[in-house]
């Protein structure tokens, strides 16, 4: 089931957006509070959108609440992974595991089957993404815990992708599902951050609210696009395309943050692109 070119373009935009807001959080002086403001911004956007959307159908609410729970674990694992390892190491591993796991879960829960060519393409996409993480060699001994949290992050990414795909399809109005998801999941990271930072919270918010608000706005738009795409197309295809955010992240690192891209990363990127071509172009 290959995706419509319009959906492909929107998913690639979502991937670029995702890499961009992660770069904003990563570059901030207090990632926990920054992430909290990002998520709280999503809540405000969701509240503004709720009056203009339909309330999700009753059968979608178990999936919606399940997604909120999974996202809480995702945020915990992601922040722990970032605390223990570099973004260029953690991010590709977490995102690279998701397409393969989504294919397995979507096949069982949504009866979405892939052809042999599509399976090969999916494998190449994941291999290319993980290759970005290991471009500078195997991780050092001290990165073992970071690797573990990156893997846990990848598992939660796959879980919420499938849950949101099914929930949005059952909701009757994917935009309503997206709005309510943002309302319900958004405040918790900020509440936790405020409890941890105490009196330092207000001065930080006053000084840097605009960074978190910018990141939250693009993050909300980016994942909104992803959920809409998950409701319209095959989940494995959508997830594989969206995880090209790892490539965008590497490019941002190379050209904006002046990190070394290197021949190995070029090779990993080429493998990823080959996989996407196999999944989304018609052969024969």
Q: What is the pLDDT at residue 258?
A: 66
How far apart are the C-alpha atoms of 48 and 69, rounded to whole Å?
A: 23
Choose between 42 and 254: higher pLDDT: 42
How far apart are the C-alpha atoms of 269 and 96, rounded to whole Å?
A: 12
Instruction: Work out how many domains the chain is built from and give that number.
Output: 1
Choose between 182 and 231: higher pLDDT: 182
Task: Please say if the pLDDT value at position 234 is more than 80.
Answer: no
Task: For 236-249, write each residue's pLDDT tens digit.
Answer: 778 877 877 777 76
Phi, psi of 53 (to 5 degrees): -125, 165
pTM: 0.82
Do the beta carbons of residue 105 and residue 163 sit within 8 Å?
no
Domain of residue 103 covers 5-280
Torsion of CA 126, 128, 134, 136, to 10 degrees: -170
Average pLDDT over residues 251-259: 68
Average pLDDT over residues 42-54: 96
Task: For 116-125, write each residue's pLDDT tens digit.
Answer: 888 888 888 8
């Amino acid at each position: 089931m290959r995706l419509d070119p319009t959906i492909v373009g929107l998913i690639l935009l979502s991937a670029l957006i995702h890499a961009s807001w992660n770069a904003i959080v990563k570059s901030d002086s207090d990632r926990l509070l920054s992430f909290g403001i990002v998520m709280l911004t999503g809540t405000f956007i969701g509240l503004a959108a709720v009056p203009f959307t339909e309330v999700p159908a009753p059968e979608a609410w178990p999936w919606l609440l399940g997604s909120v729970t999974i996202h809480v674990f995702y945020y915990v694992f992601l922040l722990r992974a970032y605390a223990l390892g570099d973004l260029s190491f953690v991010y590709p591993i977490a995102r690279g595991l998701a397409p393969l796991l989504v294919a397995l879960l979507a096949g069982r829960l949504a009866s979405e089957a892939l052809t042999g060519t599509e399976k090969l393409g999916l494998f190449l996409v994941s291999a290319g993404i993980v290759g970005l993480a290991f471009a500078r060699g195997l991780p050092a001994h001290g990165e073992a815990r970071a690797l573990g949290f990156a893997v846990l992050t990848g598992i939660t990414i796959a879980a919420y992708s499938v849950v949101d795909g099914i929930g949005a399809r059952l909701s009757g109005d994917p935009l309503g599902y997206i709005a309510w998801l943002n309302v319900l999941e958004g405040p918790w990271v900020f509440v936790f951050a405020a409890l941890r930072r105490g009196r330092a919270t207000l001065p930080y918010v006053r000084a840097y609210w605009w960074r978190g608000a910018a990141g939250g706005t693009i993050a909300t738009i980016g994942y909104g696009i992803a959920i809409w795409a998950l409701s319209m197309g095959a989940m494995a295809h959508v997830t594989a395309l969206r995880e090209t955010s790892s490539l965008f992240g590497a490019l941002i690192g190379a050209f904006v943050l002046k990190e070394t891209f290197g021949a190995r990363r070029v090779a990993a990127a080429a493998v990823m692109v080959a996989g996407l071509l196999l999944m989304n172009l018609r052969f024969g």
